[in-house]
Structure 1
Amino acid sequence: MDVLVIGAGVVGLAIARALSQRGHAVIVAETTGGIGNGISSRNSEVVHGGMYYPKGSLKARHCVAGRRMLYAFCESHGVPFRKCGKLIVATNEREEAKIAGIYQQGLTNGVEGLVMLNAREVQALEPALACSAAILSTETGIVDTHALMVALQGDLEAAGGVVAFNAPLEQVSRRGSGWDVHIGGAEPATLSFDALVNAAGLGAQALARAVDAYPQERVPPLFLAKGNYFGCAGKPVFSHLIYPAPVDGGLGTHVTLDLAGRLRFGPDVEWVESEDYVVDPHRAESFVASIRRYWPSLPDDVLVPDYSGIRPKLTGPGEPAADFLIDGPQEHGLSGLVQLFGIESPGFTSSLSIAEDVVKRLEA
């Protein structure tokens, strides 16, 4: 097949790589001038275990499978990563019940390396941490996001695929069993493809509306959940990632580390109406209150605004979290079209598994 993948984030690159390695002719159309300039460059670089998601959901299946594939890919391609492990902590009885449920969900989902710890056992691992119980996830880690995407792009190009930058997709028309695609930019062109994959992230819904044959009622709503991060001045006091019990819209204000050992906090959840990546310094006050529940000795005035990202959610404030939505020919009836909506966390971890899913849907 001649395939156009829209979006050169980690998911789009993984899908394009998988298709090209199967012998398909693949072009990736990217609106910006580089890879991973959207959601993929603004995440926490965490490789998730897969214990949060309902049994049988796409998130559960792709996170667990994708994590295993991701670590193997990093090993084989020299992508820097570290399995530093994660502690999901409870500070009261209500949170203890919540993390007990997460632990059982993880076992149900087939997540390896989960251990329930009491307060004394946690203290032995992280002396600065205050909690009554915790889950240790030994398979959670961190990875160099950009290096991963460069490696995916390298595999894609080695298999004959290409990435076209500054190439915004403007309209898609059905032609027989294929697609005519008008691409704008400095050199506009209309090209024909056998198959089209929408991996446009925050732009996925707008792109889906530009596909004239696609039923508009199938385009889901888009809610923007901004996640702010704050850096922490001083020497890191934790060696594991530290996550509180989850909150509405996210996994709580947690401690993340990068491969250089730098400590940062976030993301929080700030519902916004449009893309805005400025971090409001005043949000540090709510961060401090949240962090001191599990790190009481957090010094004053050490948090500094860092960066932010936006999650493309399919449900809004107070609503249950939605699963990934992968809408393929088997669902909508149009051959050669796969639309991906709501690929938020754990989309990065899931990317290689999602790619295999998309290939199967197109080749069925």
Structure 2
Amino acid sequence: MFQTDTVVIGAGVVGLAVARRLAMQGREVLVLEAGAHFGEGLSSRNSEVIHAGLYYPEDSLKASLCVRGRHLLYDYCRQHGIGHRKTGKWIVAGGQAQLEKLHAIAAQAQCNGVPLERVGSRVLRESLPGVTADEALYSPETGIVDSHGVMLAMLAELESCGGQLICHAPVERGVTSGAQHRLWIGGQAPCELLARRVVNAAGLGAVALAKGWEGMPEYVTPRQWLARGVYFSYSGRHPFSSLVYPVPERGGLGVHLTLDLAGQARFGPDVEWIEGIDFSVDPDRAGLFADSIRRWWPGLDETRLQPAYAGIRPKLAGPDGGFTDFRLDGESEHGVPGLVHLLGIESPGLTASLAIAEEVTAQLGD
């Protein structure tokens, strides 16, 4: 039986951020990834936006870790030469109901210490010609990033500190007995592994793994819902150099326009509650996308919308459940030392990844 000091389950951006920081503290770290490569799960299926931290309640982990993580991630990209750009983001609103939501966002951002500019229709017409809205908020701190480049740099630092990534190594179950955690690893070379510390950063599989963990009280593990969001790319030229968002809708931030570092536009994600993991994209949803986008950009050419990809949010509440926070469940939550379950890590997980790593390593301190 193999034995090591620390295991991180999952090699997405959050798992790699945690593993990197633990390795830099001098720990022996193994990262176990079920897939063939790092970052092929949810970390490759998002909008690659660095969020400012506008929307979340000020006493929530999502608010504090997003704001802290944003500063850390911009610094990290500058230090490591990773592609990124502060594009800024417009949140546009039309009609009284949307304006009320817009004003609530402005108030929340102020509570979170996030800078915003309030813009009327005249300035909006000059800044975003072709966009139809009565009012907007502009977030200068929002940006975009090469998420694969971030993960590649994190992996390089992990390995330079002696850490190791092992792929094709799905963790099927865990048992805690005394001060040791025993992991059963499937895949091409099934084995058992003992570790002093374990971080469950398994993304969509994190809740199921936590729920089946022997030695941990089951009642502390939440239920998980799945919210799929699809993206459509927009071929050819467009008039935008900043991100454009409508006011949020239930379950997500609404169908918005994001950009990649080459300037190509894509729209998404929408919200569709599903029962099982399914990353398919229905091309027929283009019509629904077009209807939503034309509310604020009447000049959209629907024929240029092309199916791109889908992501799935691991939600800790269903369609009528309202806001749920990140859960970084360590010993103080479940009573098991040396074990942290990262549950409900959806947006803004990429932005918050380095700040989440700080919190997890603090929980695992000797």
Same fold (TM over 0.5): yes
Give the Cα separation in 2 of the matches to 1:326 and 1:312. Answer: 14
Give the Cα separation in 1 of the matches to 2:60 and 2:325. Answer: 7
The answer (yes or no) to whether the contact 1:116–1:135 under 8 Å persists in 2 is yes
Please state whether the residue corresponding to 1:160 is helix, strand or coil: coil
1:136 offset after TM fit, Å? 0.3
> Residue 90 of structure 1 corresponds to which residue in structure 2?
93
Give the Cα separation in 1 of the matches to 2:277 and 2:189. Answer: 27
1:258 offset after TM fit, Å? 0.4
Structure 1 segment 318-337 matched on structure 2, within 5 A: 318-337=320-339
1:236 offset after TM fit, Å? 1.9
Give the Cα separation in 2 of the matches to 1:286 and 1:181. Answer: 45
Q: Is 1:315–2:347 an aligned residue pair?
A: no
Pick aligned residue for 1:276 from 266, 275, 278: 278
> Residue 361 of structure 1 corresponds to which residue in structure 2?
363
Give the Cα separation in 2 of the matches to 1:299 and 1:32. Answer: 38
> Residue 340 of structure 1 corresponds to which residue in structure 2?
342
User: Deviation digits for residues 173-226 of structure 1, max 9, x if unmatched?
Assistant: 223212122212222221211111000000001211332111111221111100
Pick aligned residue for 1:198 from 195, 200, 219: 200
Q: Is 1:28–2:31 an aligned residue pair?
A: yes
User: Deviation digits for residues 99-150 of structure 1, max 9, x if unmatched?
Assistant: 11111111111113x1010111112211121111111000100000111100
User: Deviation digits for residues 277-298 of structure 1, max 9, x if unmatched?
Assistant: 1111111111111101110111
Give the Cα separation in 2 of the matches to 1:289 and 1:186. Answer: 47
Unaligned runs of 5+ in 2: none
1:14 offset after TM fit, Å? 0.2
Give the Cα separation in 1 of the matches to 2:172 and 2:272. Answer: 30
> Residue 213 of structure 1 corresponds to which residue in structure 2?
215
Give the Cα separation in 1 of the matches to 2:187 and 2:281. Answer: 31
Give the Cα separation in 2 of the matches to 1:171 and 1:9. Answer: 19
* Shift in CA distance, 300/33, structure 1 to aligned 2, threshold 3 Å: closer
> Residue 144 of structure 1 corresponds to which residue in structure 2?
146
User: Deviation digits for residues 254-282 of structure 1, max 9, x if unmatched?
Assistant: 00100011011100001111111111111
1:45 offset after TM fit, Å? 0.3
Give the Cα separation in 1 of the matches to 2:316 and 2:305. Answer: 31
One-letter amino acid of the counterpart of residue 58, structure 1:
L
Give the Cα separation in 2 of the matches to 1:300 and 1:80. Answer: 30
1:9 offset after TM fit, Å? 0.2
> Residue 69 of structure 2 corresponds to which residue in structure 1?
66
User: Deviation digits for residues 235-260 of structure 1, max 9, x if unmatched?
Assistant: 02111100000000000000010001
> Residue 46 of structure 2 corresponds to which residue in structure 1?
43
1:318 offset after TM fit, Å? 2.1
Number of corresponding residues: 363
The answer (yes or no) to whether the contact 1:128–1:238 under 8 Å persists in 2 is no
The answer (yes or no) to whether the contact 2:170–2:186 under 8 Å persists in 1 is yes
The answer (yes or no) to whether the contact 1:255–1:265 under 8 Å persists in 2 is yes
Give the Cα separation in 1 of the matches to 2:304 and 2:320. Answer: 32
Give the Cα separation in 2 of the matches to 1:272 and 1:296. Answer: 30
Q: Is 1:18–2:30 an aligned residue pair?
A: no
Length-normalised TM-score, structure 1:
0.98
1:67 offset after TM fit, Å? 0.5
Structure 1 segment 111-190 matched on structure 2, within 5 A: 111-112=114-115, 114-190=116-192
Give the Cα separation in 2 of the matches to 1:128 and 1:257. Answer: 17
Please state whether the residue corresponding to 2:252 is helix, strand or coil: coil
User: Deviation digits for residues 22-47 of structure 1, max 9, x if unmatched?
Assistant: 11111000000101111000000000
Give the Cα separation in 1 of the matches to 2:319 and 2:311. Answer: 17
Report percent identity of matched pairs. 50
1:233 offset after TM fit, Å? 2.1
Give the Cα separation in 1 of the matches to 2:168 and 2:192. Answer: 15
One-letter amino acid of the counterpart of residue 243, structure 2:
L
Give the Cα separation in 2 of the matches to 1:324 and 1:95. Answer: 27
Unaligned runs of 5+ in 1: none
Give the Cα separation in 1 of the matches to 2:31 and 2:192. Answer: 15
Please state whether the residue corresponding to 1:301 is helix, strand or coil: helix
The answer (yes or no) to whether the contact 1:14–1:352 under 8 Å persists in 2 is yes
> Residue 60 of structure 2 corresponds to which residue in structure 1?
57
Give the Cα separation in 2 of the matches to 1:173 and 1:222. Answer: 21
The answer (yes or no) to whether the contact 2:176–2:216 under 8 Å persists in 1 is no
Length-normalised TM-score, structure 2:
0.97
Give the Cα separation in 2 of the matches to 1:233 and 1:186. Answer: 41
Please state whether the residue corresponding to 2:341 is helix, strand or coil: strand
Aligned-residue CA RMSD in angstroms?
1.1
One-letter amino acid of the counterpart of residue 151, structure 2:
M
One-letter amino acid of the counterpart of residue 7, structure 2:
L
Pick aligned residue for 1:225 from 213, 224, 227: 227
The answer (yes or no) to whether the contact 1:201–1:341 under 8 Å persists in 2 is yes
